[in-house]
Chains A and B, each alone.
Chain A
């Protein structure tokens, strides 16, 4: 069914393998997305750098979440969604006819806007993904490692059998990150992961993102420009055409985008003149 490279769960850290590679983690080529007859995203071409944090910013309806969701084929779940162009991960177009979306999602983790832990124990929240993907190693070790990586272990180690829903919002979101990294993806997508959290919890998530950087390629959609400036290495600014189709206006190093944008529209947006 699939020719997508099946990488088994690696026990060693992926950073050593990736440090030598400098090829982009995701290559987007002339990507267009429609919902029914409405075009949501127009001709996006973009290289997401490996082992870095890339932020997608822009006004509502600019297609930044749409683009994010096209990286793990979550748009497939929306009736009427249609994609043209290519998204290459590990050199392979994930929209090729013989690629199984399930295999894609196995390698591209996702953290959602609203924390959505499974209605299971904290332990099971982390172990489930590994189990359904046929993990053969010691589950206890995997769960502990993932929770430590997500900076949650010390808070939950004495109550692993309690429901994931009993945690606070910020803890739930870190549990969702632990759940995502437990299956060792190459890429983690974050769709406004802090928009439902208070400032303290937001800072913890941002610290966590910096810790995970280099080991994973992280793409974050955010409405919060300060957040993009604080955590990201690269920033892509999206906006909409007058007929409400989203497109990529400018992409570059975060420092350059925020201090010396090439585009007038980008400058207007980041200085708060619109959006």
Chain B
């Protein structure tokens, strides 16, 4: 260091030495960034500890298998848990093919035109629309207008509303995954006399699928925590039965975990607050399982396609 400065004629004295404020900032930035990182983490950990301290003792088989009740010690999460799983499975069923289909159209088929640009801008904007707006839309379209099909404030209406909510996110994630597939692969496929569909099905989609799946599951994990749009379309808080496992079951009223938790938190009895904390743990477990599923699927498909 010193020998460099003294022996080299290249390092002329007109250059500022590496000390003073320049060195100070370098030394400070690391610790400051660490504090910023830890701050977020610490808040999260404190929150988790608090929730687990309240909720862990309440968590039991009885809690998981009981319906809500007026007595806090008998209350359970069953109908909300089942409602959430129903809702998210149906949403995935509707949203994944629609989202991937739209993304394929926009990336692989759509001509560069004003119309395409208009659609693209709108999808990007829709991803930023507050979820309660989707609730209002769902209330008007699915609950009221499509009443003969959905039977009003039902699982089906909820899932369709959630589909609208996650669709823009799935489209954007899938488009990015499709765009990451090199163009040389499309050219190679087409030059073999393949149709566009054969190229998309056999060459492009397998490459883009991990990205599309990850995007879908992340969008769904956001949806499973959503409360506002479901309250708007009128999901109930007291459901003391499970929907029959049939098409008719889709047309029954429902509740979901966040709504049940919100309901318990707003009650005066301490027993319900513990139930709410236990409900949060259940919701977290569902969420983390979905994210783990996303990682598993991504890894599996990546291995298979290379």
Q: A interface vs B, CB < 8 Å?
A: 72, 74, 77, 79, 102-103, 105-107, 109-110, 112, 114, 116-119, 128-129, 132-133, 163, 165, 176, 179-180, 183
Contact = CB atoms under 8 A, between A and B. Distances in A.
B185 interface: yes
22 contacts: A77-B190, A79-B112, A102-B190, A103-B193, A105-B190, A105-B192, A110-B191, A112-B184, A112-B191, A114-B184, A116-B182, A116-B185, A119-B185, A119-B203, A119-B206, A119-B207, A129-B194, A132-B193, A132-B202, A176-B188, A179-B192, A183-B193
B305 interface: yes
A109 B191 contact: yes
Is chain B's binding surface mostly helix, strand, loop or mixed? helix
B185 A74 contact: no
B289 interface: no
Interface string B158-182: 0000000000000000000000001
Contacts, number: 66
Contacts of A106: 192-193
A132 B194 CA distance: 7
B184 A129 contact: no
A74 to B, nearest CB: 6
Contacts of A72: 191
Given A114-B184, A119-B185, A129 B306 contact: no
Contacts of B186: 77
B85 to A, nearest CB: 35
Of all A-B residue pairs in the complex, the 7 with the closest CB atoms, nearest first, are A106-B193, A110-B191, A129-B192, A116-B184, A105-B193, A116-B188, A132-B198
A129 B184 CA distance: 16
Contacts of A107: 193
A107 B193 CA distance: 8
A1 B127 CA distance: 41
Contacts of B305: 119
B192 A132 contact: yes
A122 B207 CA distance: 17
Nearest to A166: B306
A179 B187 CA distance: 14
B190 A129 contact: no
Given A116-B185, A132-B202, A74 B306 contact: no
Contact of B187 (A74, A128, A129, A183): A74
Contacts of B193: 102-103, 105-107, 129, 132-133, 183
A183 B306 contact: no
Contacts of B182: 116
B195 interface: yes
A114 B191 CA distance: 14
A147 B202 CA distance: 21
A69 to B, nearest CB: 10
B249 interface: no
Nearest to B201: A132
Given A119-B305, A119-B306, A74 B191 contact: yes
A109 B194 CA distance: 11
B189 interface: yes
B191 A183 contact: no
Contacts of A179: 192
A129 B189 CA distance: 8
A114 B182 CA distance: 12
Contacts of A128: 192, 202
Contacts of B190: 74, 77, 102, 105
Interface string B105-119: 000000110000000
B197 to A, nearest CB: 10
A119 B207 CA distance: 8
A134 to B, nearest CB: 10
A180 B184 contact: no
A132 B198 CA distance: 7
Contacts of A74: 187, 190-191
Contacts of A118: 185, 188-189, 203
Nearest to A113: B184
A8 to B, nearest CB: 13
Contact of B188 (A102, A112, A133): A112
A10 to B, nearest CB: 15
A117 B187 CA distance: 11
